[in-house]
Amino acid sequence: MVLQSLIEDITGTDFATYTTNEVLRPVGASHATFAITPTRPFAYGSYENGQAVEGGYMRHPESAAAGLWATASDLANLFHGVLQALAGTRHAIIPMALAERMVTPVCRKVGLGVFVSAGPTISHEGRNFGFDSIVAADLNTGQVRAAVTNRNGAIESYTEQLLAH
């Protein structure tokens, strides 16, 4: 919430609009949004036991921490943006130095916003009521893989495959 409030205070723009214009669209994550209620249709979530989430989904006012609505392609495009920055691409979404800090573990296998494992591979998993996701990128090959499900617990089978070398 602190980062979200800081961005809103400094830019004078709500977090969802700012991130859409400055981050999501530039990397090609055209279906992604931090809007509390997305305007595009999306799947409703369900719990591990198959029970539907009441109302289809949970709204999170702390958008920066728990409010990203995205497809697997959107998540992959975000990681491609990090890889472009690491490669020194001229119009990368973040500076190369920041991308390098992101993929450098600061505590065990945790970088800035990503997990770092052997290979080297960076990854990030997400879970909200009724939805699970994972995205992983091989820093040597540049291959990015992502999966999103609308059922908690269903992602575990994908996780092993996406993180395997």
pLDDT at 104: 95
Q: Is residue 115 part of a domain?
A: yes
Region of 28 please: left (phi>0), alpha (psi -120 to 50) or beta: left
Q: Is residue 133 part of a domain?
A: yes
Do residues 104 and 98 touch, judged by C-beta distance below 8 A? Answer: no
Work out the widest C-alpha separation in the chain, in whole angstroms: 47
- Encode pLDDT of 113-148 as tens digits: 999 998 899 999 999 999 999 999 999 999 999 999
Question: Among the listed ranges 30-39, 46-55, 135-144, 155-164, which one has the minimum average pLDDT value?
Answer: 155-164
pLDDT at 162: 66
Q: Is residue 16 part of a domain?
A: no
pLDDT bin (cut points 50, 70, 90) of residue 13 is: very high
116: Cβ contacts below 8 Å, ≥ 6 apart: 103, 104, 105, 109, 110, 122
Q: Is residue 20 part of a domain?
A: no
| Total of domains in the chain | 1
- Encode pLDDT of 92-122 as tens digits: 999 999 999 999 999 889 999 999 998 899 9
d(CA 110, CA 97): 17
Residue range(s) defining the domain that contains residue 117: 47-59+68-163
Q: Is residue 35 part of a domain?
A: no
The pTM for the full model equals 0.90
Q: Is residue 78 part of a domain?
A: yes
d(CA 92, CA 141): 18
b/e map 97-116, b = 16+ CB within 10 Å: eebeebbeeeeeeebeebbb
Q: Is residue 23 part of a domain?
A: no
Beta strands in 118-162 (DSSP E): 121-128, 131-138, 144-149
Q: Give the residue-averaged pLDDT of 54-79.
A: 90
